[in-house]
Amino acid sequence: MAVEEAEMLRRGKKREREGGGGGGGVRRCVDPAAECTPSPHHTQTRCLSTTWSTRSQLSAPPSAAASRTLSEMESRILYALQCYPPTHRPPRQRAATVEPQQRSPDSSSEECTVLEALPNKMALPTCAQHQHKEVELYCVACAGPVCEDCVRGEHADHTTEPLSVAVEKLRLTLQERVTAATNRLPQIAVARQSLRDILQQLSGQRSSIEEDIHSAFAELHKTLDVRKSVLLMELEVTYTLKQKILQAQLDALVQGEESITSSRSLTEQALDGGSDAAVLLAHGAEAERLNELASQGLPLQPEENDQLDLYMESEELKKSIHNLGTIVTTSAVASQTEASGEGLEQCAIGIPTSVTIVTRDKAGGLCKAGNAVISAEVFTPDGSIADGEILDNKNGTYDFVYTIQKEGNFSLAVRLYDQHIKGSPFHLRVTSSPDDSQVLSTPSSAANAGSSGSSGGAKRRGAKSPGSGSRSRQRGVRRAGSMFSTPKKKANPIEDDLIFKIGTKGRNKGEFTNLQGVAASATGTILIADSNNQCVQVFSNEGVFQNRFGVRGRSPGQLQRPTGVAVHPNGDIIIADYDNKWVSIFSSEGKYKGKLGSGRLMGPKGVSVDNNGHVIVVDNKACTVLIFQTSGKLVAKFGSRGNGDKQFAGPHFAAVNSNNDIIITDFHNHSVKVFNTDGELLLKFGSNGEGNGQFNAPTGVAVDANGNIIVADWGNSRIQVFDSSGSFLSYINTSADPLYGPQGLALTSDGHVVVADSGNHCFKVYRYLQ
């Protein structure tokens, strides 16, 4: 610093020599914001006053400083730094004698010079009102520098303080504001990155939808062309058939007419001019033939008609095409969206509780359309996530219905487009309900309280505490061990079907946070969709960790919320990503290969693969089932929201039997439904309750080699087994270590059942006799 200040002092001396000193020299102010004109009396003091004025404006409140543009402020600060560099001159020391003819290459006679200096601070200016009076004080009221004569005069009643003290205060004020402004930079950077991400996603969605529009209309053109060809073919076939019949009839009549005419002509010739011998000959030759021709049965009536009409309901089709497709969006923003309802503060164990979410735009106005992307999660004290469903009322409001099976303090996070809404996360208390047993004791009342899954909102349904481990719930036949059974571990002293369990809560390998989907490969591996850890973990059939892959994010190849997993016959791993709204395809080693369903899916939950290698996707949010080729081409789609036989209310997972039928668990309708690949309903079984064959929100499903259907009963925390016609067979005994909210379920290659015990942060493998 000493070297820099010495250099600045040297340059100041040069400026003084060039300027001629005193007040008689003609100088021009270099302040680009000041309107100064050359004058014999215009000295550096006027420029300095301008600078001090600028400095006082910098220290003024932000509203005053905001009145000047950034360029003006920058010019004035640079000017002040140029004209008043710090020096190390002794106090009140005059500058050296001026040498007007000396110039340095980088100086100019038009620059303002520094004639006086404050000790170790900056050059001390002289007063503009009182010539040659040094400015040593600062008027607090006027926010400007003054001399002693000014204090005795017009500033007599004003509070003053030493200029050096005032400068230090201004310096501290500026530094505080610099710090405050600097502290805003990380927030701005985060917001900027968030906006860039949203813009990138918006652009990606636009491209995806544009591709879907082209693809959909290309399919329509193709379908129309096919229909056109079919109609033309039908026309040709119908015409040919009619034409052949009529032509054959015409040919028969022509032939009969020609025969009669020929025979008649010969006979008439014999009668008109022939001899008696000719008549005798004609009678013998033509009489019998004429008799046959006269009596032969000719097709005198038309055997076909000429009708060929075209009936085409083109007007209805045109209307349908006119309204075909809708670009769905909302103006809802998280910062204005609100939630209300008893579920924000407290709920009772095992009782479904609802929260109403009202979406608003940036101005606080109510959004009146649905389809907003909303997610809600209830975090339990141990960090796991209680399951629930969001119902879109299609009017800008949404109902989040959840059930908690443990007592304690919980957090409810509600997000709109991945941003927390007002007040989120909310803190709620879960307590034991005094009349809980009354609500849950009667299966019929629980069944009547089942959710319809309609857009009108979620209805209450009963739920058995999954942690009770009660044997009375499992009233089915005791199952024998599998022929594939392995010896029971000592950690499981009570006799049941559990072989082993793997996992605790955490983020390392072999640890899980909200595990969801489960799959098993033919090569002897078990795959777990670890939803909140944004990855898939792979284990051997014996529970030995093998691999883990997945990176959190919203770009292709990344995972945001994996919920379903399946294995393709070629070894590829199919993953349903609920929050990214697509299905990702990875190699068996975990290398990303591609995705499908982007732009078509709203919230994929479960995935499966049929016997043709097609990917079955259960869209939980849209309440539909879609069938894709691995190339991404949509093969079929069926289902809608509702409680009808062919409708769904929060469908979860899927399985495929040997007939290539698709089995879907219908969460809020408490049933299991079986469809063919054309979407035709083949079978439905189950109702809301705790009895044999009843469900309280079914989730995972699998099919064994005999066609028996294995179902994870989430609300009742059990696993039930049914035959192919939907008749209840038995339970898998889970009494020793009860399940808590089971999710995905699969059959391993060695014949065991593996289930994601989501509430206990582990997966369990049970014996199963096929």
Are 415 and 503 in the same domain? no
Q: Is 333 inside any structural domain?
A: no
Comparing CA positions, the residue from 555, 587, 561, 557 lying closest to residue 574 is 587
Are 352 and 318 in the same domain? no
Q: Is 281 inside any structural domain?
A: yes
Average pLDDT rounded to a whole number, residues 110-133: 56
pLDDT at residue 64, as a whole number:
44
Average pLDDT rounded to a whole number, residues 600-608: 95
pLDDT at residue 443, as a whole number:
32
Residue 673 in this model has a pLDDT that exceeds 90: yes
Average pLDDT rounded to a whole number, residues 359-386: 84
Q: Is 299 inside any structural domain?
A: yes
pLDDT at residue 462, as a whole number:
36
pLDDT at residue 496, as a whole number:
66
d(CA 607, CA 436): 36
Tell me the per-residue pLDDT of 195-235, one tens digit each, with 9 for 90 and over. Answer: 888 888 888 888 888 888 888 888 888 888 888 888 898 89
Structural domain boundaries enclosing 546: 471-766
Mark which of 101, 125, 149 sits at the end of a domain.
125
Phi, psi of 285 (to 5 degrees): -90, -40
Tell me the per-residue pLDDT of 466-480, one tens digit each, with 9 for 90 and over. Answer: 333 333 333 333 333
Mark which of 105, 125, 145 sits at the end of a domain.
125
Average pLDDT rounded to a whole number, residues 188-200: 88
Are 261 and 177 in the same domain? yes
Strand order in the sheet with 624-628: 604-609, 615-619, 624-628, 634-638
Residue 657 in this model has a pLDDT that exceeds 80: yes
Residue 413's CATH number: 2.60.40.10
Residue 117 in this model has a pLDDT that exceeds 60: no
Q: How confident is the model at residue 607 (pLDDT cuts 50, 70, 90)?
A: very high
**Greater model confidence, 218 or 264:** 218
Helix (H), strand (E) at residue 582: strand 582-586
Residue 436 in this model has a pLDDT that exceeds 60: no
Are 300 and 346 in the same domain? no
Comparing CA positions, the residue from 575, 559, 577 lying closest to residue 567 is 575
Are 377 and 493 in the same domain? no
DSSP letter string, 750-764:
TS-EEEEEGGGTEEE
Q: How confident is the model at residue 312 (pLDDT cuts 50, 70, 90)?
A: confident
pLDDT at residue 703, as a whole number:
96
Q: How confident is the model at residue 156 (pLDDT cuts 50, 70, 90)?
A: confident
Q: How confident is the model at residue 188 (pLDDT cuts 50, 70, 90)?
A: very high
Pick the range with the lowest mean pLDDT from 102-106, 190-194, 469-473, 579-583. Answer: 469-473
The CA distances from residue 300 to 194, 297, 763, in Å, are: 86, 8, 84
d(CA 263, CA 94): 154
Q: Which residues pair with 525 in a beta bridge?
A: 540
* Count of structural domains within the chain: 4
Mark which of 297, 322, 347 sits at the end of a domain.
322
Are 231 and 290 in the same domain? yes
Pick the range with the lowest mean pLDDT from 202-211, 242-251, 676-685. Answer: 202-211
**Greater model confidence, 81 or 549:** 549
pLDDT at residue 384, as a whole number:
63
Residue 521 in this model has a pLDDT that exceeds 90: yes
Task: For 540-569, give the secondary structure using H, E and C.
Answer: ECCCCEEEEECCECCCCCCECCEEEEEECC
370 Cβ contact list (under 8 Å, min separation 6)? 330, 392, 393, 394, 395, 396, 398
Average pLDDT rounded to a whole number, residues 604-632: 96
Six-digit token pair at 574? 């199919």
Helix (H/G/I), strand (E/B), else coil: 56: helix
For all residues of the chain together, what is the average pLDDT?
77
pLDDT at residue 62, as a whole number:
45
Q: Is 364 inside any structural domain?
A: yes
Residue 397 in this model has a pLDDT that exceeds 90: yes
Residue 420 in this model has a pLDDT that exceeds 70: yes
Is residue 716 within 8 A of residue 467, CB to CB? The reply is no
Are 434 and 560 in the same domain? no
Percent of the chain's residues with pLDDT above 70: 74
pLDDT at residue 409, as a whole number:
85
Q: Is 329 inside any structural domain?
A: no
Are 564 and 687 in the same domain? yes
d(CA 466, CA 406): 9
Residue 414 has a CB neighbour count (10 Å cut-off) of: 26
Residue 755 in this model has a pLDDT that exceeds 90: yes
Average pLDDT rounded to a whole number, residues 163-188: 90
Pick the range with the lowest mean pLDDT from 37-41, 174-178, 551-555, 658-662. Answer: 37-41
Are 304 and 360 in the same domain? no
Are 595 and 652 in the same domain? yes
pLDDT at residue 770, as a whole number:
61
Q: Is 449 inside any structural domain?
A: no
pLDDT at residue 7, as a whole number:
54
Comparing CA positions, the residue from 299, 306, 372, 381 lying closest to residue 334 is 372
Tell me the per-residue pLDDT of 437-460, one tens digit each, with 9 for 90 and over. Answer: 333 333 333 333 333 333 333 333
Are 291 and 344 in the same domain? no
Residue 626's CATH number: 2.120.10.30
Pick the range with the lowest mean pLDDT from 314-318, 490-494, 656-660, 716-720. Answer: 490-494
Are 306 and 353 in the same domain? no
The packing angle between helices 44-58 and 70-83, to 10°, is 130
Is residue 538 within 8 A of residue 523, CB to CB? The reply is no
pLDDT at residue 31, as a whole number:
42
Strand 511-512 and strand 504-505: the pairing is parallel
DSSP letter string, 141-179:
TTTEEE-HHHHHTTTTTS-EEEHHHHHHHHHHHHHHHHH
pLDDT at residue 75, as a whole number:
55
Q: Is 451 inside any structural domain?
A: no
Q: Is 523 inside any structural domain?
A: yes
